[in-house]
């Protein structure tokens, strides 16, 4: 394939790991699978990534994470009202999930869940991605008229709902969790737009570590 030939070995290794993480998680991946999928010799893997699999995986999480958050404006910009934009994005995700045969649309959440207690470097990379999602999502919703605390509140709720709905939807082979999560987020938008929240963020967790 011409696309494959035009990309660098380094890039092909990252793409190979991202795709393997999608279908089998992190731990099941072998270095042999990576080099076979990337069409790269073993030596080139350790040349580009001296720390091996974990280093490629960290970069794959960063690059797929960056691509993933770009879907936010892409899916929501067409809808003038935030009340329709948010559930519409969940419905679109449900359609894509079903049409893809219940593919893992983004390995960041599943790999983060798998390795949060066992691979500190990879957890660090996933945390970077998650912080980036929260920051960009907050900025996006501020741009759509919410105050900063409400915007942060909304993107946090959406990311939780979406990651959980992907897992339940793939497990059940059903779009129902994504639709239900989307309707729940519509209710969240309503309440935030009504400004009826008591004192929004009660805390921000453990700031020292965060």
Identity of the residue, 14 or 163, whose beta carbon is nearer to a second copy in the bound complex? 163
Site string for a second copy, 30-69 (x = CB under 8 A): ----------------------------------------
Q: With contact defined as beta carbons under 8 Å apart, do 113 and 124 qualify?
A: no
- Can you list the alpha helix ranges (DSSP code H) found in 25-81? 31-38, 42-48, 53-69, 71-76
Identity of the residue, 11 or 102, whose beta carbon is nearer to a second copy in the bound complex? 102
Express the helix, strand and coil content of the chain in percent, nearest 5 each: 75, 0, 25
Q: Which two tokens stand for residue 20?
A: 């393997």
The rounded distance, in Å, linking the Cα atoms of 17 and 137 is: 26
Residue with tokens 């731990």: 27
The length of the chain is: 210
Identity of the residue, 48 or 185, whose beta carbon is nearer to a second copy in the bound complex? 185
Binders of a second copy among residues 113 to 142 (CB under 8 A) are 113-118, 123, 126-127, 130-131
Contact residues for a second copy, defined by CB under 8 A: 22-28, 98, 102-104, 109-110, 112-118, 123, 126-127, 130-131, 152-153, 156-157, 159-177, 179-181, 183-185, 187-188, 190-192, 197, 200-206, 209-210
């Amino acid at each position: 394939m011409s696309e494959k030939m035009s990309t660098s070995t380094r890039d092909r290794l990252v793409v190979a790991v991202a795709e393997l993480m999608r279908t089998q998680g992190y731990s099941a991946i072998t270095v042999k699978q990576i080099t076979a999928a990337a069409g790269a010799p073993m030596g080139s893997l350790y040349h580009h990534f001296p720390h091996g699999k974990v280093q490629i995986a960290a970069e794959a999480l960063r690059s797929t994470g960056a691509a993933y958050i770009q879907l936010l404006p892409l899916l929501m910009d067409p809808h003038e009202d935030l009340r329709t934009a948010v559930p519409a994005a969940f419905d679109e995700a449900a359609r894509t999930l079903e049409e893809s045969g219940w593919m893992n649309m983004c390995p960041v959440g599943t790999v983060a869940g798998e390795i949060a207690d066992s691979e500190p470097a990879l957890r660090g990379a996933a945390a970077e991605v998650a912080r980036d999602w929260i920051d960009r999502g907050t900025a996006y919703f501020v741009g759509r008229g919410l105050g900063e605390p409400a915007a942060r509140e909304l993107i946090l709720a959406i990311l939780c709902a979406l990651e959980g709905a992907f897992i339940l939807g793939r497990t059940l082979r059903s779009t129902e969790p994504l639709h239900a999560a989307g309707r729940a987020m519509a209710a969240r938008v309503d309440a935030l737009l009504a400004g009826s929240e008591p004192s929004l963020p009660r805390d921000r967790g453990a700031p020292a570590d965060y």
